[in-house]
Amino acid sequence: MTMVSDAPALQQTSEPADNAAAPSRAARYARPLLGILLPLTLALGWELVVWLGWSNGRLVPPPSRVFATIAELARSGELVRHIAATLWRVSLGFAFGVVAGTLLGAISGYWSLARRLLDPTVQALRAIPSLAWVPLFILWLGIFETSKVALIAVGVFFPVYLGVMGAILIVDRKIVEVGRTFRLSGFAMIRRILLPAVLPAYVVSLRVGLGLGWMFVVAAELIGASEGLGYLLLDGQQLGKPAQILAAIVIFAILGKLTDWLIELAAAPFLRWQDAFGPAKGA
Amino acid sequence: MLALDRVSKTYPNGVAALARFSAEIRQGEIIAIIGGSGCGKSTLLRAIAGLDRASSGTVTLDNEAIASPHAKIGIIFQEPRLLPWLSVADNIGFGLTDLPATERREKVVRALERVGLVDKAQAWPRELSGGQAQRVAIARALVPQPEVLLLDEPFSALDAFTRRDLQDHLLDLWADTRPTLILVTHDVDEAVVLADRVLVMRPRPGRLFDQIEINLARPRDRNSPLFENFKRSVLTSLDRSLDRSVPDRDATQGPGQAMWW
Ligand SMILES: Nc1ncnc2c1ncn2[C@@H]1O[C@H](COP(=O)(O)OP(=O)(O)OP(=O)(O)O)[C@@H](O)[C@H]1O
Ligand SMILES: [Mg+2]
């Protein structure tokens, strides 16, 4: 993940630009540049080492060869196909996981009877290392898309469930009382008090869930796939092409960061009111 | 009229926070409730607000029993409790959603003018000072025009200067529609400046100990000898309420008991 270190740049977008002492253009880019410095130095150093012939760079290919591989894959159209396959799986799994996690988390958080009924089971299931489900899913759902999406959904489900339930449980009683003094009905209370109150924690749990989704798509695609970035990894290992493995890793990093950023971007307008130490951060 | 008839509250843990509290409060009257810490002032206020149920006894507003929050009763807490995700204007309009948008906006603007925060209309609550935030809370509670406004130590977290300012401000706002005000306070000065009547409570179990009518014309001069006199009598009563050797005046003989229906 060190390859893409534009995180500080993203924080800037969520900060109001009305800062009295608006940083100069140079200063604004200096901070993210600082983060890129280390990986960039390492990459250039390695490039130099290989270029000077001190190493043949066969097992650890220099950046130029990794990017050449990416360019090659892109030219042949392979890259788009693999990215599309992986993105599709993550999106589907993420969608299912988020819907299930949000629904069950909300029910458990809002309704204590349901929590007593449901939560112990969910917690027990959570204790199972999720990869242990793989054989079962393959047996039940086949080795094609369904079992992969299911595995990703499982990975996304737990952080979202926990995040939603936990956020509802810690909503400030004092704020809820304000709603009560204005005689909000159950539904209005949810819409006007609970929903905005849990939103920051919810966004964090979505980002954690997405991170796990990306983790699990690799697992799912390593198990058996004919396309996808995980397949590229496996293919690169079996055919002894480290440049292809690194290319896939770089693309994972970019996609992971990009999708995370999309969530942050979509949530930002709803979270401007926050009075926190720093902008809410995912894991 | 707000009538409290033998209101008692025993918490589930067995604490008798309030015992047989009775009082009658005229429409438009300003009541200050004063008493030692833990003598059940907040408990009483929450029972009147309908936030907590009394274990026994009744609270009635114009012959209507109060068991849950009521449109005619507003409350201001010790902390402003603004909703952090709403702008100042939206916070003030929070209780007005039943009204058409234009009418709502008008009322909010008028309230903003009234509490002197027009320039903060679009600010977030986090951008307000403590006193400003409490002013927004007052506006939010007043804008639906409650008949009874309850205030639980609303100014106790503010510095003396801001507190005085807001006390005067509260009286100003009160004069607009003259709701009944019931104000819990620790500050004798505040009680005498604001109230028509001071109710002194005594703890364990929380009950009414004494009532002092403040027959002073408004605006009241904090430095007048008369003002000092009233302050002294409230203080004396407060001291006696905390002195265990002083017997209870039989609270059931108080004027609050003259209820025959
Ligand atoms: N939710 C609760 N559960 C149990 N006991 C409570 C609860 N709230 C208050 N009490 C107890 O009831 C008594 C009265 O509390 P209350 O908050 O009404 O006092 P108060 O007069 O408002 O005190 P203060 O001036 O310190 O605010 C106290 O002894 C307190 O410990
Ligand atoms: Mg209190």
- Both B9 and B115 in a single domain? no
Below-50 pLDDT ranges, chain A: 1-21, 280-283
Note the residue count of chain A.
283
Q: Say what the pLDDT of residue A23 is.
A: 55
Interface touch A183/B71, C-beta < 8 Å? yes
Mutate to test the interface with A, among B45, B82, B83 (most CBs of A within 10 A): B83
Q: Say what the pLDDT of residue A281 is.
A: 43
Q: Which residue has the higher pLDDT, B258 or A78?
A: A78
Interface touch A177/B51, C-beta < 8 Å? yes
- Both B80 and B141 in a single domain? yes
Q: How far is the CA of B187 from the centre of ligand 1 (A)?
A: 18
Percentage of residues in chain B having pLDDT higher than 90? 56
Q: Is A273 on the interface with B (CB under 8 A)?
A: yes
Q: Which fold has domain A60-268?
A: MetI-like fold (1.10.3720)
Q: Say what the pLDDT of residue A278 is.
A: 59
Query: A269: nearest CA in chain B?
Result: B85
Distance, in angstroms, between A114 CA and closest chain B CA?
Answer: 24
Average pLDDT over residues B93-106: 90
- Both B202 and B182 in a single domain? no
Q: Is B244 on the interface with A (CB under 8 A)?
A: no
- Both B19 and B102 in a single domain? no
Separation in Å, CA B260 to CA B93, B132, B256: 40, 45, 11
Per-domain boundaries in chain A: 60-268
- Both B106 and B179 in a single domain? yes
Strand order in the sheet with B73-76: B73-76, B148-152, B180-184, B30-35, B197-202, B207-213
Q: Which residue has the higher pLDDT, B73 or A9?
A: B73
- Which residues of B are less than 8 Å from A193 in CB distance? 83
pLDDT tens-digit map of B111-151: 898 888 999 999 999 999 988 999 999 999 989 989 999 99
- Does residue B122 fall inside a structural domain? yes
Q: Using the predicted structure, report yes or no on whether residue B90 has a pLDDT greater than 90.
A: yes
Which class for A215: exposed (0-12), middle (13-18), buried (19 or more C-beta within 10 A)? middle
Average pLDDT over residues B14-18: 89
Q: Say what the pLDDT of residue A175 is.
A: 94
Interface touch A196/B85, C-beta < 8 Å? yes
Cβ atoms of residues B165 and B206 within 8 Å: no
- Does residue B191 fall inside a structural domain? no
Q: Using the predicted structure, report yes or no on whether residue B55 has a pLDDT greater than 50.
A: yes
The ligand minimizing its distance to the Cα of B33 is 1
- Which contacts qualify for B113-117: CB closer than 8 Å, 24 or more apart? B114/B139, B114/B173, B114/B176, B115/B139, B115/B169, B115/B173, B117/B88
- Does residue B154 fall inside a structural domain? yes
Q: Using the predicted structure, report yes or no on whether residue B86 has a pLDDT greater than 60.
A: yes
Structural domain total, chain B: 2
Q: Say what the pLDDT of residue A18 is.
A: 46
ipTM of the complex: 0.85
Average pLDDT over residues B152-169: 88
- Both B82 and B164 in a single domain? yes
- Does residue B34 fall inside a structural domain? no
Q: Say what the pLDDT of residue A25 is.
A: 67
- Does residue B153 fall inside a structural domain? yes
- State which residues form the domain around B244: 1-25+39-69+198-208+239-249
Grade residue B258 by pLDDT with cuts at 50, 70 and 90: very low
- Both B117 and B143 in a single domain? yes
- Does residue B176 fall inside a structural domain? yes
Q: Say what the pLDDT of residue A180 is.
A: 93
What is the 3-state secondary structure of A207-220?
HHHHHHHHHHHHHH
- Both B101 and B113 in a single domain? yes
pLDDT tens-digit map of B209-243: 999 999 888 888 889 999 999 999 999 998 888 88
- Both B80 and B175 in a single domain? yes
Q: Say what the pLDDT of residue A24 is.
A: 66
Q: Say what the pLDDT of residue B253 is.
A: 43
- Both B61 and B161 in a single domain? no
Domain with B2 in it: what CATH number?
A: 3.40.50.300
Q: Is B85 on the interface with A (CB under 8 A)?
A: yes
Cβ contacts of residue B131 below 8 Å, gap of 6+?
B158, B162, B165, B166
- Does residue B169 fall inside a structural domain? yes
